[in-house]
């Protein structure tokens, strides 16, 4: 495969966005877990998190079907940016300088990998 279509890039970026919401709902579900199988089956935030991860997988598969995996898969790591934003909004977690530097390194890495797509 010599190039990755823009539609594949969009699909994978959308998958990472949806997956980051999946992480939020998994955390919400974990915070509200109840003992036993009934508690697990009625944990709607947990079920929503799993559903969002599955949905993100569908978009990921659609994206990688026509694109280069070496270009597209690193883009999934951009979900860390969304997760940082959601964790601040929903859980009031701190955004530290170290976290921002770490995210900048990830973005730089994705950028460098995409330079090699031609």
What is the per-residue pLDDT across 71-93, written as a single tens digit (0 to 9) for each?
Answer: 888 888 888 889 999 999 999 99
Residue pair 70/113 in contact (Cβ under 8 Å)? The answer is yes
In a domain, 1, yes or no: no
Range of the domain at 99: 6-115
Residue pair 1/72 in contact (Cβ under 8 Å)? The answer is no
Q: Is the pLDDT of residue 64 over 90?
A: yes
In a domain, 79, yes or no: yes
In a domain, 109, yes or no: yes
DSSP-based helix, strand, coil % in the chain, nearest 5: 80, 0, 20
Residue pair 20/86 in contact (Cβ under 8 Å)? The answer is yes
pTM of the model: 0.81
What is the per-residue pLDDT across 27-54, written as a single tens digit (0 to 9) for each?
Answer: 999 888 777 777 777 789 999 999 999 9
Helix, strand or coil, per DSSP, at residue 5: coil
């Amino acid at each position: 495969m010599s190039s990755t279509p823009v539609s594949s890039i969009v699909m994978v970026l959308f998958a990472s966005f949806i997956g980051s919401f999946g992480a939020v709902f998994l955390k919400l579900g974990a915070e509200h877990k109840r003992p036993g199988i009934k508690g697990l089956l009625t944990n709607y935030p947990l079920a929503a998190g799993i559903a969002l991860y599955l949905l993100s997988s569908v978009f990921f598969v659609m994206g990688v079907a026509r694109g280069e995996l070496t270009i597209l898969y690193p883009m999934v790591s951009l979900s860390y940016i969304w997760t940082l934003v959601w964790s601040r909004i929903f859980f009031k977690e701190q955004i530290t300088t170290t976290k921002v530097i770490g995210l900048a390194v990830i973005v730089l890495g994705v950028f460098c990998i995409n330079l090699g797509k031609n």
